[in-house]
Amino acid sequence: MTSDLHPEGARFLANSDWASAEVAALTQDASARKYFRLTKQTRDTAILMDASQAPSEEMARFLKIGRHLRKIHLSAPEIYAEAPGFLVLEDFGDLRFADMPGDQGSLYPIALDALLHLQAHPAPQDLPICDAAHLGVLAATAWQWYAPASTGERDALGQSVVDLVESLANNLLPKPSCMMLRDYHAENIMWLPQRNGTSRAGLLDFQDAMLGHPAFDVVSLLQDARRDISPDFELEMCTYFRKRASISEDEFTTTYAALGAIRNLRIIGMFARLSRLLRRPSYVDFIPRVWAYLERDLAHPGLNDLRKIVDETLPFPAETHLNFLRTECLTPPPQ
C-alpha cells in the first residue's frame, strides 16, 4: 500500500475484491479528492477515489450524475465498490483529450457530440439551477480573490458586480434548459477509442453538474484555461455545435460571449484563490490565457457595462500582479 493512502481507504480496499491490488498514487487535481490506480496480478485495473476530505454530499452527487450519464449511454465510470468517502471506479486509462493536441480536429467534434447527446435528454430531477443570480455570484469571484485589495469577503463592489451580471443574464440569456457538466475540458475527457460514437469520450469530474445553458460547456471546452485554442478553430467548433443544436447565430454568439465572460471571471478568481488561500501558485500561470479569453468575450457589444467595470477595477495580469498572487497568502475567510 502507498503511504499516501488514507487508513480508512486501506481498510475499505482490504474488504473488497481489490484487497491484493498494487496501489499507485495518481496526479491530483485542484479538489480535495485523491486518486490511486489499483492493479491486480491479472493486470485488471481500477481507480480508487478518496473523497474522505471532500463534503459528504459530493459523493452522492457523483453517484447520481454518473448513473444518469450511463443510463443515456454516455461513458461515466462504472462503480465497482463503495463506502463512505471512497469509491472503486472503472479505469479509463491515461489517454486524455489533452494529451492529443494534434488531433483536435477529430476529437473536439466527438466531445461536442457528447454534449449534444447529453442535452437532448431530460436532466435529472433536483439539479441545482445555474440561474442569473448564480451567474452573478460566479463572476464576482474575480473581485473577491484576484483584485489586490481582496480579503475573500464580498465587499460593496463585489455585490455591485453580482447585481450587474444578474441583470445582464436576465436580459441576454435564455432560461436554463439542460444539464451542464460545468468543468468540461480536455483534461476531464478521456479518449476511449475501443468504444463507438459519443461513448468514446470518457467523462470525469461531473459531480457539480447543474441545470444551465447549452453554451456553458461549449465555452468550458473551447476556452480552455490550460491550453491554447486558436480563434479560428474555436469559431469552427462553435459553428459545428450551434448548427446541430439548431441555435441561431445571433443567439448563440451572445450567449457564448456572456457565459464565457462570466465563467472566465470566475476562473481568474478561483486560480487566484488556489494560490492565495491554498498555496497552489502554479494556477496563476494560467491567468494570462484566461484573461485573453475574457477580453475576447467582453468585445461583444451586449457586454459593454461589464467590460467597463472590468477595465476600471480589475488589474491587468502584468507580472507584478501575478507575483503578488503567487506570494500574498490569506487566511481562510469567515464562513
199 part of a folded domain = yes
Could you tell me the three cell numbers for 40?
491486480
Collapsing DSSP to helix, strand or coil, 25 comes out as strand
pLDDT value for 30:
65
Inter-CA distances, 158 with 75, 146, 152, 281, 306, Å: 39, 12, 10, 24, 13
The count of other CB atoms within 10 Å of the CB of residue 95 is: 13
**DSSP bridge partners of 298:** none
What are the tens digits of pLDDT across the range 95-115?
999 998 788 899 999 999 999
What are the tens digits of pLDDT across the range 139-181?
999 999 998 754 444 455 678 899 999 999 999 999 999 999 9
CA–CA separation, 60 and 133 (whole Å): 25
**DSSP bridge partners of 34:** 50
Clarify whether residues 121 and 213 are in a common domain: yes
CA-CA-CA-CA torsion sign (23, 57, 217, 227) = negative
CA–CA separation, 165 and 232 (whole Å): 28
Taking the mean position of all CA atoms in its chain, how far away is CA 273? 15
Q: What is the DSSP string of 172-201?
A: HSPPP-EEE-S--STTSEEE-TTS-GGGGE
Q: What is the radius of gyration, based on Cα positions, of the chain? A: 20
pLDDT of the chain, 335 residues: tens digit per residue? 555 788 999 999 999 999 999 999 997 766 788 999 999 999 999 999 999 988 889 999 999 999 999 999 999 999 999 999 999 999 999 999 999 878 889 999 999 999 999 999 999 989 999 999 999 999 999 999 998 754 444 455 678 899 999 999 999 999 999 999 999 999 999 999 999 999 999 999 999 999 999 999 999 999 999 999 999 999 999 999 999 999 999 999 999 999 999 999 999 999 999 998 888 999 999 999 999 999 999 999 999 999 999 999 999 999 999 999 998 876 554 34
Collapsing DSSP to helix, strand or coil, 261 comes out as helix
Domain range for residue 264? 97-327
Could you tell me the three cell numbers for 114?
457528447
Clarify whether residues 190 and 83 are in a common domain: no
332 part of a folded domain = no
- The backbone torsions φ and ψ at residue 90, rounded to the nearest 5 degrees and listed phi first, read -60, 140
Clarify whether residues 66 and 151 are in a common domain: no
CATH number reported for the structural domain that contains residue 236 in this entry: 3.90.1200.10
Q: Do 222 and 194 meet the contact criterion of CB atoms below 8 Å apart?
A: no
Clarify whether residues 63 and 105 are in a common domain: no
pLDDT value for 152:
45
What integer best gives the mean pLDDT of the chain? Answer: 92
- The backbone torsions φ and ψ at residue 266, rounded to the nearest 5 degrees and listed phi first, read -60, -45
Clarify whether residues 222 and 162 are in a common domain: yes
CA-CA-CA-CA torsion sign (71, 75, 76, 81) = positive
